[in-house]
Chain A
Amino acid sequence: MDRHRLSRRTFLRMAAMGASAAVLASCGGQQPAPQPPAATQPTTPPAAGATKPLTFVWSPKAVNNPVFDVARRGAMDKAKELGITVEWIGPESADAQKQAELLDAAIARKVDGMGISCNDPDALKPVIDRAMDSGIPVITWDSDSPDSKRITFYSLDNEAAARKGAEVMVELLKDSPNKTYAILTGVPGAQNLEARIRAFREVADPAGLQWVATDPCYDDIQKGVEVVENRLTANPDLAGYFMAGAWPLFGDINAMPKFQAAARAGMKTVAWDILENELKLLKEGLVHALIGQKFYGWGYDAVGILYDIVVNKKQYPPFVDTGFDLVRTPEEAEVFLKKWETGNWK
C-alpha cells in the first residue's frame, strides 16, 4: 500500500490560516453596533432627594436571543431617562439553574430591584422569594414564576393573543375546503408555548379546523426548518400552519422549499413574533398574520414599573397586560420593519 507522510508545511499552513480566521473574528467584534436614538421623554421622573443612584438587575432568559437584545436596549434607554443603573445579567443560553446562580450573586450585592424573564417558574421561585425576603423588590416580565413572591408580571396575555391568532386562521381558511393545520412549538412543556397552543386549539378546532400534529423544534432554527419540511413531506396538502414561535422563520425562506411552495399554493401561516425576516415574509405573502410581543417594553416599560414600585411606592396588580400587535398587512409590516431598521421602538 502506498503511504505518505503528512508534511510539516501542510500542518503549519493550517495553523497560520486558522490564526487569520481568529483575527477576522476579533475584527468583527470591533465593529461598532449602531446605537439607538437617545431617550426623549421619561415616563416616570426621577424622585427628588434620591441619595444614591439605584441599581436594577434585568435578567433575560438568555443573552443569545435577538428579541432580548431589543429588551436590553429598552431597559438601557429607560435607565438613562431615570438616571439609574440597569445591569443586564442573564445566562448565555436558556438555563434556569445558571440564571438562578447569577441572580443569587445579585442578591448578595444587595441591588435595589430585579426584573426577571424566568427560564422556569419553579426553578426561579426560590431565588425570587429570597430576594423579596431580603427587601429587594422583584417583578417578572415575558415569562413568569406565578407561585413566587414577585410583585407583578409584565407580559402579553399569551392565551388572548393565541385566540386572536386562531380567529385569524379560521377567517383565512373560511373558503378553503381543506381545513387541516399543523402547529410548530419549541420545547414541549414550556408554559407560555403550551398556553398559546391550548388557546389556539380551543378556538380553531371547534370552528372546524382539523389539527394534524404539533411538532417541537426545541427552540432551534435549524431543527425548526427540518421539522417544517418534514411535516410538509408527510402532509403536503396542509392548509394552515400555526407557529407558536418564529424559529424557522429566522432564516432564509429558500432553506424551506416545501414551505415556500405550500405557501405559494395557498397555505396560510399565523406565527408568533414580529422579527424582521417574518415581516418581510408577510410582505411577500408567504406568512399571513404575525402576533407581536412588546420586546422593547420588556425593558423600557418594565423598568419604569419597577422604578415606580421602588421610588414612588406605587401599587401594581399581579399581572400587567402589555397587549400585543397583530400584523396582517404589508403596510403594518412596513411600520415594524422601520422600527427594526432604525432601532426606535418608542
Chain B
Amino acid sequence: MSEDTSVEAKSAPVVTQQPGIIRRILQRPETSIIIVLAVLSGFLSQSSEAFLTSDNLFNILRNNADIAIAALGVTLVIMAGGIDLSIGSTMALSGLVAAIAVSQGGTTAYQLPGYGLPPAVAFALGVLAGTTVGLINGTLVVRLKIAPFIATLGMLGVVRGIVVGLTSGQTVRNFPPEFTNLGQGYVGPVPVPVIFLIVLAILVGLFLSYHVWGTYIYAIGGNETSAALTGLPVERVRILTYALSGTLAGVGGVLVVARLGVSAPTQALGYELFVIAAAVIGGVSLSGGRGTVAGAVLGAILIGVLNNALVLLRVESYWQQAFTGGIILLSALIDRLRQRR
C-alpha cells in the first residue's frame, strides 16, 4: 500500500537503489501541502499587499498555534492506528482547569470563583487535565478494547459535558497578566504561542525520529499484528500516544484561554475536525503508519492561511465553507496523485 511508504522505508534494511532527488522530494508526505501553500501564498501576495507581511504571517501562526500543537498529538495517535475525536473537548477542559486555577475571582454574580494560583501551576494543572483525558482514552481503547472512534466520541461528550456542567454555561475570566502573556505576549517579534509550537514540534519530531518508542509508533501503525509478534510493547505505546495527544491538546487549550483572556464553555467546540484535518492534509495517513510532524504543522498553517485568505479576498460569507472545503479536497487530491507516481 502506498500509505505504508514510511514503514517500508524504515523497516527495509537493504536499499538496493537510491531514488533521485525529485522522486525523494515527491515521496515526502508534506510535499502536497507545500505545493498548495506555495500556490495559495503566491496568489494571496499578488492579491493583497497585506498578506506577505511579517505581522500578518505571525498573526496567522499565533491564531492557529493551538490547532497546530493539538495536531502534533493527534498525528501520533493516527500514526499508531487510532483516532482521537475528543480533542476539542479536551482543549476546553484544560483551558477551564487552568482558568479556574489562575483566576483572581469572578466579577459578576454568575462567574465561578478562582483559586488565584500561580500561572505556572495553573498552566501545569490545565495541561495535566488534558493528559488525564488522554490516559482515559488510551485505557478505553487499549485495555477495554473499545473502538477508538466510539471511545473518543464518548469522551468528547463526557468532557464537554463536564465543562458545561462546571460552568453552568458561564465564562471564567479575570486572569493576571503573567498568565495572559502566555497567549498574548511576544519574544521579540515572535508571539509566545508560536514559540511553544516550535519547541513542541521539535520535541515531538525528535521523539519520533530518535526515541525507540517513536519508531515503534510507525511500526505499530503500519502493521500492529507484526509489531506485536516481534515483541513491541504495542499496548503501552498506543496508550502513550493518547496521553500525549491529550497533553498537547491541553497545552493548546490553555494557550487559547491565555490569549483570549476568557474560558468559555464553547471553547474549541468542533475543533477536533480542524485538528484532524490539519494532520491528515499534512500527510498523516488515517490508516496509520505514515506521517510527519512538519506535515501536521503545515496542515494547521494551511487552515490559518485559508481563514486569512477568506477575509483578504473578501469571499462572500455564504461561500466561505465551500471555498475552505474545496482547498482541503484539492490538497488531498494532489496527495493522492503524488502517491500514485
Q: Does B283 contact A (CB under 8 A)?
A: no
Report Cα–Cα, A221/B265, bound state, in Å. 11
Per-residue contact bits, chain B 23-66, to A (CB 8 Å; 1 contact, 0 not):
00000000000000000000000001010000110010001001
With beta carbons under 8 angstroms apart, the residue of A4, A219, A342 that contacts B212 is A4
Report Cα–Cα, A31/B111, bound state, in Å. 10
Q: Are A31 and B113 in contact (CB under 8 A)?
A: yes
Chain A residues whose CB sits within 8 angstroms of the CB of B268 once the complex forms: 222
Among residues 1 to 54 in chain A, which have CB atoms less than 8 Å away from a CB atom of chain B? Answer: 1-6, 11, 14-15, 17-22, 24-25, 28-29, 31, 33-34, 36
> In chain A, what residue has the closest Cβ to B320?
A216
Q: Does B100 contact A (CB under 8 A)?
A: yes
> Given A2-B210, A18-B131, A29-B166 in contact, is the A254-B110 Cβ separation under 8 Å?
no
Q: Does B197 contact A (CB under 8 A)?
A: no
Per-residue contact bits, chain B 121-144, to A (CB 8 Å; 1 contact, 0 not):
000111111111111000000000
Chain A residues whose CB sits within 8 angstroms of the CB of B331 once the complex forms: none
Give the interface segment out of B289-297, B309-317, B333-341: B309-317
Report Cα–Cα, A22/B215, bound state, in Å. 31
What distance in Å separates the Cβ of A117 from its nearest Cβ neighbour in chain B?
Answer: 13
Q: Does B160 contact A (CB under 8 A)?
A: yes
Chain B residues whose CB sits within 8 angstroms of the CB of A105 once the complex forms: none
Chain B residues whose CB sits within 8 angstroms of the CB of A189 once the complex forms: 318
Q: Does A303 contact B (CB under 8 A)?
A: no
Interface size class of B (residues with CB under 8 A): 35 or more
With beta carbons under 8 angstroms apart, the residue of A22, A24, A216, A254 that contacts B100 is A24
Q: Are B108 and A276 in contact (CB under 8 A)?
A: yes
Q: Does A195 contact B (CB under 8 A)?
A: no
Chain B residues whose CB sits within 8 angstroms of the CB of A2 once the complex forms: 210
Q: Are B317 and A188 in contact (CB under 8 A)?
A: yes
Q: Are B110 and A343 in contact (CB under 8 A)?
A: yes
Report Cα–Cα, A344/B108, bound state, in Å. 11
Per-residue contact bits, chain B 55-83, to A (CB 8 Å; 1 contact, 0 not):
11001000100100000000000000000
Q: Does B260 contact A (CB under 8 A)?
A: yes
Q: Are B243 and A64 in contact (CB under 8 A)?
A: no
With beta carbons under 8 angstroms apart, the residue of B93, B171, B318 that contacts A188 is B318
Chain A residues whose CB sits within 8 angstroms of the CB of B165 once the complex forms: 29
Chain A residues whose CB sits within 8 angstroms of the CB of B247 once the complex forms: 14
Chain A residues whose CB sits within 8 angstroms of the CB of B210 once the complex forms: 1-3
Q: Are A231 and B317 in contact (CB under 8 A)?
A: no
Chain B residues whose CB sits within 8 angstroms of the CB of A335 once the complex forms: none
Report Cα–Cα, A252/B260, bound state, in Å. 5
Per-residue contact bits, chain A 158-196, to B (CB 8 Å; 1 contact, 0 not):
000000000000000000000000000100110000000
Q: Does B5 contact A (CB under 8 A)?
A: no
What distance in Å separates the Cβ of A305 from its nearest Cβ neighbour in chain B?
Answer: 23
Q: Does B164 contact A (CB under 8 A)?
A: yes
Q: Are B59 and A233 in contact (CB under 8 A)?
A: yes
Q: Are A251 and B262 in contact (CB under 8 A)?
A: yes
Chain B residues whose CB sits within 8 angstroms of the CB of A223 once the complex forms: 307
Q: Are A215 and B311 in contact (CB under 8 A)?
A: yes
Q: Are B128 and A5 in contact (CB under 8 A)?
A: no
Chain B residues whose CB sits within 8 angstroms of the CB of A20 once the complex forms: 125, 128
Q: Does B6 contact A (CB under 8 A)?
A: no
Report Cα–Cα, A65/B266, bound state, in Å. 8
Q: Are A230 and B162 in contact (CB under 8 A)?
A: no
Among residues 225 to 240 in chain A, which have CB atoms less than 8 Å away from a CB atom of chain B? Answer: 225-227, 229-231, 233-234, 236
Q: Are A63 and B97 in contact (CB under 8 A)?
A: no
Chain B residues whose CB sits within 8 angstroms of the CB of A220 once the complex forms: 266, 269
Report Cα–Cα, A11/B215, bound state, in Å. 18
> Given A6-B213, A231-B311, A250-B262 in contact, is the A69-B317 Cβ separation under 8 Å?
no
Q: Does A341 contact B (CB under 8 A)?
A: yes
Provide the main secondary structure of the chain A interface: helix
Report Cα–Cα, A341/B107, bound state, in Å. 6
Q: Does A154 contact B (CB under 8 A)?
A: no
With beta carbons under 8 angstroms apart, the residue of B132, B310, B312 that contacts A21 is B132
With beta carbons under 8 angstroms apart, the residue of A4, A24, A251, A254 that contacts B125 is A24
With beta carbons under 8 angstroms apart, the residue of B213, B308, B317 that contacts A5 is B213
Q: Does A242 contact B (CB under 8 A)?
A: no
Report Cα–Cα, A62/B265, bound state, in Å. 11
What distance in Å separates the Cβ of B119 from its nearest Cβ neighbour in chain A?
Answer: 14
Chain B residues whose CB sits within 8 angstroms of the CB of A213 once the complex forms: 311, 314
Q: Are A214 and B169 in contact (CB under 8 A)?
A: no
Report Cα–Cα, A29/B172, bound state, in Å. 12
What distance in Å separates the Cβ of B37 from its nearest Cβ neighbour in chain A?
Answer: 17
> In chain B, what residue has the closest Cβ to A14?
B131
Q: Does A255 contact B (CB under 8 A)?
A: yes
What distance in Å separates the Cβ of B184 from its nearest Cβ neighbour in chain A?
Answer: 5
> Given A213-B311, A229-B63 in contact, is the A63-B164 Cβ separation under 8 Å?
yes
Q: Does A93 contact B (CB under 8 A)?
A: yes
11 further contact pairs, Cβ within 8 A, besides A66-B264, A222-B63, A252-B260:
A19-B132, A21-B126, A62-B266, A65-B265, A92-B160, A222-B256, A230-B312, A252-B261, A255-B259, A341-B108, A343-B109
Counting from the closest, the 5 A-B pairs by CB-CB distance are: A252-B261, A343-B109, A18-B132, A21-B129, A251-B260
Q: Could you jot down 17 A-B contacts, CB within 8 Å?
A: A11-B243, A18-B133, A20-B125, A22-B129, A24-B101, A25-B93, A28-B96, A64-B264, A69-B110, A213-B311, A213-B314, A222-B66, A222-B256, A230-B59, A252-B175, A254-B180, A340-B110
